[in-house]
Amino acid sequence: MNSFFGGPVLPTLLKLVIASVAVGIVLAVFGIQPVDLWRDFLDTIGRIWQMGFDAIDWSFRYLLLGAVVVIPIFILVRLWSLLVERKKD
């Protein structure tokens, strides 16, 4: 247990309590509430999640748009090369 806390448990817990109170006072001075921090954190995670799916949607649309042009050209080129090879034989 001491290795997890980085030393004796009781003094470490006391330091954590003092640091928590000090940070709590500073945050209260700025009008920040714990609920606001959690709400902002969860909103940020949600926005990052949504941005990921938006990026997938964006790339899929361009993939389809490009495929509409590229795939037919590829097929035509392959058919053309097969016809040219048959004429050589």
pLDDT range class, residue 25, cuts 50, 70, 90: very high
- Do 14 and 41 have their domain in common? no
The DSSP call for residue 1 is -
38 vs 44: CA distance, rounded Å: 10
- Do 77 and 49 have their domain in common? yes
| Predicted local distance difference test score (pLDDT) of residue 5 | 73
| Predicted local distance difference test score (pLDDT) of residue 24 | 92
DSSP code per residue over 31-65:
T--HHHHHHHHHHHHHHHHHHHHHHHHHHHHHHHH
- 12: Cβ contacts below 8 Å, ≥ 6 apart: 5, 6
- Do 24 and 40 have their domain in common? no
**Total domains, the chain:** 2
Structural domain boundaries, residue 88: 34-89
Q: What's the average model confidence in pLDDT over 1-25? A: 87
- Do 65 and 75 have their domain in common? yes
Q: What's the average model confidence in pLDDT over 16-21? A: 95
- Do 48 and 75 have their domain in common? yes
Is the pLDDT reported for residue 1 higher than 80?
no
Per-residue pLDDT tens digits for 43-89? 999 999 999 999 999 999 999 999 999 999 999 999 999 988 888 76
7 SS3 class: coil
44 vs 37: CA distance, rounded Å: 11
